């Protein structure tokens, strides 16, 4: 089974959200109202500080160049510090200035002198870029949380560089079949248990053990499929055999890594060992199409293909354009997540759902990773790994930094 991940990302942005600002600015410039984009007679002439662009001192008076929210750059004005009631924006301005100077001085921490009358153009340009990036990332974060269908919140953070949100990535909550591929998402039968933990339930009907213990932790070995109760079962939503289908319960953060691996994902809360963390979703394509796309991805030095080879190798999940938080999870040769095949409403063994469970306790702030080759867990044979489309192409250098690093992702 070939996996896909977040290393070597491209530039990202959310084009559908950019035009709103432009429209608001045009409306205010032309003195027009438009309720659909939030410009009314009441707020047409409102002025709110969006971010600070520059700094100068004139006759011992400190001034900041203000970008007004919803107004074009041509309306930016210099305002005295005493008139600004935006302590957070002032602090961000100061932090961005300090970070830029630290980077210029090769990362050495320095204390900027406060007696400069003006900022150098390069500093002001960097501060504006950081402000725009911060706004773009916040909007992307809001968009992700609107689209998700699970309990856990999604946060976005970049304290490393000027990279913004994705330009060609669309958040989805479940598999998206490519044209010509049909996903049957309705089970033909279900259990009639009153207590699925003790009675003969869906796993027993499939010839396997119940996957979870009373603490909702997985208890079966890797390589064993998970059969959860489905939409035809008479048990309710609190059934102990409904774990993956409830979605991610933990708040996670998509963050920019500092070691050249692009974006990654970290948990903001403690995750107990053997707990469900997230699903891996994307576009379901044929293996033939995966081979074609794989050649293109290799040329870009990225990998997003995950072969659904539980019993056959007909289909592959491609998370390059469509996916969820798992799209950003990086590889590690010493991972803290493990892959399991899951069957719920769709019992077609060619199309298992892919779930990621913790292999150990994962603490708040720790990056989440899984092994793109899934070696060392006994869930895949070497044959299945070697026959994966991704394994026939250019080798990609691994940057996981683990003591047990194999050197390559494939």
Determine the angle formed by the axes of helices 87-104 and 121-147, rounding to 10 degrees: 120
Distance of CA 212 to the CA centre of its chain: 27
- Give the residue numbers of the binding site: 191, 193, 196, 201-202, 229, 233, 235, 239, 261-263, 330-331, 333, 372, 398-400, 405
Q: Rounded to the nearest 5 degrees, what angle is found at the Cα of 341, between the Cα atoms of 340 and 346? A: 150
* Same structural domain, 308 and 345: yes
Distance of CA 223 to the CA centre of its chain: 26
Distance of CA 46 to the CA centre of its chain: 35
Question: Mind giving me the DSSP string for 277-331?
Answer: EEEE--EEEEHHHHHHHHHHHHHHT---EEEE-SS--SEEEE-SSEE-GGGGPEE
Residue 26 is predicted with a pLDDT of 65
pTM for this one? 0.83
* Same structural domain, 199 and 135: no
Active-site annotation holds for 126: no
Residue 366 is predicted with a pLDDT of 98
* Same structural domain, 291 and 202: yes
Cβ neighbours around 359 below 10 Å, total: 18
pLDDT tens, residue order, the chain (410 aa) = 444 444 443 333 344 444 566 666 666 665 666 766 666 656 555 778 999 999 999 999 999 999 998 888 999 999 999 999 999 999 999 999 999 999 888 755 555 555 678 999 999 999 999 999 999 999 999 999 999 999 999 999 999 999 999 988 999 999 999 999 988 778 888 999 999 999 989 999 999 999 999 999 999 999 999 999 999 999 999 999 999 999 999 999 999 999 989 999 999 999 999 999 999 999 999 999 999 998 888 777 777 899 998 888 899 999 999 999 999 999 999 999 999 999 999 999 999 999 999 999 999 999 999 998 764 343 333 333 333 333 344 567 888 888 888 887 76
Report in angstroms the alpha-carbon separations of 73 from 40, 68, 125: 21, 8, 14
Q: Domain for residue 234, yes or no?
A: yes
Antiparallel, parallel or unpaired: β 305-308 and 330-331: unpaired
Residue 13 is predicted with a pLDDT of 37
* Same structural domain, 97 and 210: no
Q: Domain for residue 36, yes or no?
A: no
Here the tokens at position 182 are 């049909």
Q: Domain for residue 136, yes or no?
A: yes
* Same structural domain, 304 and 175: yes
Active-site annotation holds for 372: yes
* Same structural domain, 178 and 70: no
User: In the beta sheet, which residues pair with residue 330?
Assistant: 369
- Rounded-to-integer distance, Cα 123 and Cα 131, Å: 12
The residue segments making up the domain with residue 200 are 151-370
- Give the residue numbers of the binding site for S-adenosyl-L-methionine: 261-263, 330-331, 372, 399
Span between the terminal Cα atoms of the chain, in Å: 11
Antiparallel, parallel or unpaired: β 322-323 and 49-58: unpaired
| Closest C-alpha among 402, 217, 390 to residue 304 | 390
- Give the residue numbers of the binding site for Zn(2+): 191, 193, 196, 201-202, 229, 233, 235, 239, 333, 398, 400, 405
* Same structural domain, 136 and 181: no
The active-site residue, picked from 100, 227, 310, 372, is 372
| Closest C-alpha among 371, 401, 9, 376 to residue 167 | 9
The CATH number linked to 89 is 2.40.50.40
Q: Domain for residue 5, yes or no?
A: no
* Same structural domain, 170 and 125: no
* Same structural domain, 96 and 199: no
* Same structural domain, 168 and 267: yes
* Same structural domain, 218 and 347: yes
- Rounded-to-integer distance, Cα 147 and Cα 267, Å: 19
The CATH number linked to 185 is 2.170.270.10
Q: Is 368 helix (H, G, I), strand (E, B) or coil?
A: strand
Residue 48 is predicted with a pLDDT of 87
* Same structural domain, 241 and 322: yes
- Rounded-to-integer distance, Cα 328 and Cα 302, Å: 12
The active-site residue, picked from 280, 297, 304, 322, is 280
Burial class (CB in 10 A: 0-12, 13-18, 19+), 54: buried
The domain tally of the chain equals 2
Q: Domain for residue 407, yes or no?
A: no
Q: Domain for residue 377, yes or no?
A: no
| Residue bearing tokens 């009373």 | 214
Q: Domain for residue 391, yes or no?
A: no
Residue 25 is predicted with a pLDDT of 62
Q: Domain for residue 12, yes or no?
A: no
């Amino acid at each position: 089974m070939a996996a896909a991940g977040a290393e070597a990302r491209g530039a990202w942005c959310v084009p559908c959200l950019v035009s709103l600002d432009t429209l608001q600015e045009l409306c205010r410039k032309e003195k027009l109202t438009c309720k659909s984009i939030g410009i009314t007679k009441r707020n047409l002439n409102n002025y709110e500080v969006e971010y600070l662009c520059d700094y100068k001192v004139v006759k011992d008076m400190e001034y900041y160049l203000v970008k007004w929210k919803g107004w074009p750059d041509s309306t930016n004005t210099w305002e005295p510090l005493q008139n600004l009631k935006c302590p957070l924006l002032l602090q961000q301005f100061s932090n961005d200035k300090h970070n830029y100077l630290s980077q210029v001085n090769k990362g050495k921490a320095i204390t900027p002198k406060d007696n400069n009358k003006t900022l150098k153009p390069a500093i002001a340009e960097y501060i504006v870029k950081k402000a725009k990036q911060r706004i773009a990332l916040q909007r992307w974060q809001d968009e992700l949380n609107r689209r998700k269908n699970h309990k856990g919140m999604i946060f976005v953070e970049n304290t490393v560089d000027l990279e913004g949100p994705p330009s060609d990535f669309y958040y989805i909550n479940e598999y998206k079949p490519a044209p010509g591929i049909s996903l049957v998402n309705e089970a033909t039968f279900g259990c009639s248990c009153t207590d699925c933990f003790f009675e003969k339930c869906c796993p027993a009907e499939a010839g396997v053990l119940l996957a979870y213990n009373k603490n909702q932790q997985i208890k079966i070995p890797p390589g064993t499929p998970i059969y959860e109760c489905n939409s035809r079962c008479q048990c309710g939503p609190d059934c102990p055999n409904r774990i993956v289908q409830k979605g991610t319960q933990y708040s996670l953060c998509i963050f920019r890594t500092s070691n050249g691996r692009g974006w990654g994902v970290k948990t903001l809360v403690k995750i107990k060992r053997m707990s469900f963390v997230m699903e891996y979703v994307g576009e379901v394509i044929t293996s033939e199409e995966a081979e074609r796309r794989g050649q293109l991805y290799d040329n870009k030095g990225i990998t997003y293909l995950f072969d659904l080879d539980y019993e056959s190798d007909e289909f592959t999940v491609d998370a390059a354009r469509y996916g969820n938080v798992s799209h950003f999870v990086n590889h590690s040769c010493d991972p803290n997540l493990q892959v399991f095949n899951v069957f719920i409403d769709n019992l077609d063994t060619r199309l298992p759902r892919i779930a990621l469970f913790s292999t150990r306790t994962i603490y708040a702030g720790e990056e989440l990773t899984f092994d793109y080759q899934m070696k060392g867990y006994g869930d895949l044979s070497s044959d299945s790994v070697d026959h994966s489309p991704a394994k026939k192409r250019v080798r990609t250098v691994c940057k996981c930094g683990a003591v047990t690093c194999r050197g390559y992702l494939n």
